[in-house]
Amino acid sequence: MRYFYIILIFYVYALFSICFGKTGYPSFDVFHSPSQLSLGGAGFLNPSPISSKMNPSVADTGKNFSTSIIRYHANIISQSVGLSVPWRNGVGTFFISHISYGTFNGYDTDGDPTGKYQSGDTWLNGVYSKQLKFFPVRTGFSIQYFNSVLKDHNIIALLFSLGSEVFIHSVNGSLGVSFHNIGFTFKTNNFAKGSFAPKTVLSGSKELAHLPLTLFFDSVYLNQGGESDVFLGGIFKLKNNLRFQWGSSTRKINHNINQDIFQTILGATGLGIGYCTDQTKFHYGTFVFGTGASSHGLEITVQL
């Protein structure tokens, strides 16, 4: 019962945050998992020990260790490592992720060199999820520590997310709702003021009966002028332990620069292929922007 009240308090707080949010930081919309990258942003109900775009109630069973690297354009690199283990009749997940934006040459107002400086973001994320005893429902929450550094400017924040997933066995699928980026900065000397705008995600997944395909549907509502995006992706389970993933979203419209039909078709689209053994999963994913730039990542998951 205590666990139920904690979740209820978080949900009430999330609803108030949605009503009174402010401008958020764009770094919270990046990918940490190549598997999520290849789904084009869909798959909040697809479990991964290193994904930030996930309903916190979703988790793999057993012990899993994952590591990944994603290379964005402009030599921006994302590196992540995560671990999920059974804990207290549920599943606990912890992952660390760092994005390096590079090393830059500094100059003062007179144009004189002041030395090199670095820029990067670091996330420490802890997640706990649990299956309810008498209902086909999972609930979960996450606590996230965020540290962003740009030369002498620094942002430190503590954020929370919570969510639930309902299994619908008659259709071999599930529905989920989750609230993300609920929190505050408790130290900042950043020149660009702002807050972490929360977002609400409505999700669905379904395993098709006559195709080896699992579909994911996600609707993300951002509290920034009432903006929203819809994502659709899928995972094909092929022969010889191979998997093919794809996904896209309504962001294809925003990414369209009306210059090339190939870029228009592939804009905001993710593609990936994976190979699974009994204990190890390898996955390569890519995401194509409307400008033609692309991101590429490799993820390895080992069942311990």
DSSP string, 272-289: EEEEE-SSEEEEEEEEE-
Q: Which domains does the chain have, with CATH numbers?
A: 2-102+114-303 (2.40.160.40)
Contacts of 64 (CB under 8 A, 6+ apart): 49, 83, 84, 301, 302, 303, 304
| Count of Cβ atoms closer than 10 Å to residue 168 Cβ | 13
- DSSP characters over 40-57: TT--TTS--TT-SSS-TT
Q: Residue 39 is inside which H or E element, if any?
A: none
pLDDT of residue 188: 61
What is the per-residue pLDDT for 290? 74
> Which of 277, 274, 272 has the alpha carbon at shortest distance from 295?
272
Residue-level pLDDT at 151 = 77
What is the predicted pLDDT for the residue at 50?
Answer: 93
* Rounded (to 5) percent helix, strand, coil in the chain: 15, 55, 30
Instruction: Residue 216: name the closest of 229, 225, 207 by CA.
Output: 207
The helix (run of H) or strand (run of E) holding residue 214 is strand 213-222
pLDDT of 191 reads 52
Asked if 294 and 74 count as a contact pair (C-beta separation under 8 A), the reply is no
pLDDT of 19: 46
Are 82 and 54 in contact by the 8 Å Cβ rule? The answer is no
User: How does pLDDT run along the chain (304 residues), one tens digit per residue?
Assistant: 444 444 444 444 444 444 444 444 666 778 899 999 999 999 999 999 998 889 999 987 789 999 999 999 888 999 999 999 999 889 999 999 999 988 888 877 778 888 888 889 999 999 999 999 889 999 999 999 999 887 777 888 899 999 999 999 999 999 999 999 888 887 666 555 556 778 899 999 999 988 999 999 999 997 666 678 999 999 999 988 999 999 999 888 877 667 776 677 778 899 999 999 889 999 999 999 877 788 999 999 999 8
Q: Which two tokens stand for residue 254?
A: 């925003």
- The pLDDT score that the predictor gives to residue 79 is 95
For residues 262-285, b (16+ Cβ closer than 10 Å) or e, as one string?
Answer: ebeebbbbbbbbbeeeeeebebbb
Ramachandran angles phi, psi of 41, nearest 5°: 105, -10
User: 59 near 127, Cβ under 8 Å?
Assistant: yes
Closest C-alpha among 76, 43, 101, 85 to residue 293: 76
pTM: 0.85
- Please tell me the predicted confidence (pLDDT) of residue 210: 87
Tell me the one-letter amino acid at 126.
Answer: G
Residue 20 pLDDT: 42
